[in-house]
Amino acid sequence: MASRKHPNGRNGSNGKKHAADGFDVRALRARFPVLSRRVDGHPLVYLDSAATSQRPREVLEAMDEYYRHDNANSHQRVHPLGKRSKELDDEARQTVADYIGATTKDEVVWVKGATEGINVVARTWAEENVKRGDNVVLTVTEHYSNLIPWQQLAKRTGCDLRFVDVDADGRLRVDQLEKFITRRTRLVSLSHVSNALGMINPVHVAVELAKPVRARVLVDGAQSAPHLAIDVEALGCDFFCFSAHKMGGPFGTGVLWTKEELLEEMTPSQFGGGTAEKVTLRRHRFMSHPESFEAGTGNPAASVGFRAAIELVQEMGQDEMWHYEQALVSYGLERLGAVDGLTLLGSREPWERVPLFTFSYKDRDGEEVARSLARQGIAVSGGKLHAQPLLKRFGLESAVRVSCWAYTTTHEIDRVAEALESRSSWTARAVDRAADVIESVR
């Protein structure tokens, strides 16, 4: 396996190497069928990987192979297909465990994605351990998925929520972390990488501050797992959540990693088939974890696809991909930053970021800008980005987000810049508005 990155997201050596030597982006792109399609006559420029990545042929073929030859309910282990489904699911769980540096595959709970993983923690460990008068420390950079569950927890328990701010460059205010984490802190929950800023947050600092007061740390890895090599033991956190679909895997599956000692203490939040080994009309005995947290029929096909996605990343080389993405960060900051009227959010230091660029453009609505780009075959996100509090922190109601993965090229970043610099996209928008006015008059 490729060497892991430092928990703060720097390169495994010194964090300054940006060369893409040995990384063949054209060969990688050839493995993603959708990247060769055209949209309304334009070559597709897909720059929305933070929302969801595209799927490589290996993932599609692995899932197709499963459905054609091994499809069965993995709970039915009395016949060959059911037994094989269970074996494939377990092999995928082990692959994930190895990939994130887990001590055992039994610490890996399958969930629908990072959102469900966070909600599981909120409904299990947090409800059992967070009381009125306690506090949960969050940051202003959080995606709704790592904000709303804790707002709901506060309603149910009466706990206090504390929010760590960022500075003008998007860096987390460490001085506030030090101030907000106290003996009444039960949990620190933060994103490893901001979905709106692309900034790598100092998880290691949060862990160092939380340990002395015996607070637990949850890391939302939805935006870090696609870019950084994850080692949960090195991070020192207690919970880590991420989604398959943002790193080449299928929709509808993801991981909640939890320290085994905590899983043993937690009561599952969903109940039903697959969670209990003995049931009477009035009582039940749970199975051991992780199965006790995975109620209902599993999704072995998604697990198989997720494993194929991880194996592709390992084949391409995580260090090589990281160096290439750092080159994309440097190029994107320079090229997009040169567009007249465009204001980038976040630090200009490449090593502090992943290749994700959020910006405002000439005071125009972010969603409108995204729609205009879409007419030229360019797929980006626009609007509130599920991070409205963070955008308001920077005085914005909406923004545009260009998010890359290892299959992105500098030419695609050029396409965005050129489209913004051209008046044609805004002329097209004016035509659309005129058509709307004419239709309303009719």
Domain boundaries, the chain: 25-47+317-435, 59-313
Q: What are phi and psi of 400, to 5 degrees?
A: -115, 140
In this structure, of 184-193, 271-280, 333-342, 366-375, the range with the lowest mean pLDDT score is 271-280
pLDDT higher than 50, residue 427 = no
Q: In Å, what is the CA distance from 363 to each residue of 159, 336, 341, 414, 432?
A: 38, 16, 8, 21, 19
d(CA 174, CA 8): 13
Mean pLDDT within 68-73: 91
| Average model confidence (pLDDT) across the chain | 91
pLDDT of residue 284: 87
Q: In Å, what is the CA distance from 105 to each residue of 69, 92, 94, 96, 108?
A: 25, 9, 5, 8, 5
Mean pLDDT within 345-372: 97
- 344 DSSP assignment: E
The yes-or-no answer to whether 25-47+317-435 and 59-313 have a common fold is no
Considering the chain, what percentage of its residues have pLDDT values greater than 70?
91
pLDDT higher than 50, residue 14 = no
pLDDT of residue 3: 37
One-letter amino acid of 285: R
pLDDT higher than 50, residue 126 = yes
Q: What are phi and psi of 111, to 5 degrees?
A: -135, 175
Which residues, 6 or more positions from 134, have their beta carbon under 8 angstroms from its beta carbon?
Answer: 157, 159, 160, 184, 185, 186
pLDDT grade, residue 12 (50/70/90)?
very low
Q: Which of 25, 433, 352 shows the shortest CA–CA distance to 172? A: 352
d(CA 158, CA 181): 18
Interhelix angle 366-374/410-421, nearest 10 degrees: 110
d(CA 180, CA 135): 9
pLDDT higher than 60, residue 11 = no
Q: How many other C-beta atoms can be found within 10 angstroms of the C-beta atom of residue 58?
A: 18
Domain 25-47+317-435 class?
alpha beta
**What is residue 97's three-state secondary structure?**
helix
d(CA 98, CA 92): 10
pLDDT higher than 90, residue 213 = yes
End-to-end CA separation in angstroms for the chain: 65
**What is residue 220's three-state secondary structure?**
strand
Interior CA angle at 176 toward 393 and 133, to 5°?
100
Is residue 202 reached through a cis peptide bond, with omega within 30 degrees of 0 on the bond before it? no
Which tokens go with 177?
A: 């972390």
d(CA 92, CA 300): 9
pLDDT grade, residue 442 (50/70/90)?
very low
Interior CA angle at 230 toward 316 and 209, to 5°?
160
d(CA 233, CA 260): 12
Residue 360 β-bridge partners: 343
CATH hierarchy code of domain 59-313: 3.40.640.10
d(CA 108, CA 96): 8
pLDDT grade, residue 80 (50/70/90)?
confident
pLDDT of residue 21: 57
Which tokens go with 314?
A: 């390992």
pLDDT grade, residue 346 (50/70/90)?
very high
Q: Which of 98, 315, 126 shows the shortest CA–CA distance to 216? A: 126
Question: What pTM does this model have?
Answer: 0.90
CB–CB of 220/146 below 8 Å?
A: yes
Which residues, 6 or more positions from 427, have their beta carbon under 8 angstroms from its beta carbon?
Answer: none
- 422 DSSP assignment: S
CA-based Rg of the chain, rounded to a whole angstrom?
A: 23
**What is residue 326's three-state secondary structure?**
helix
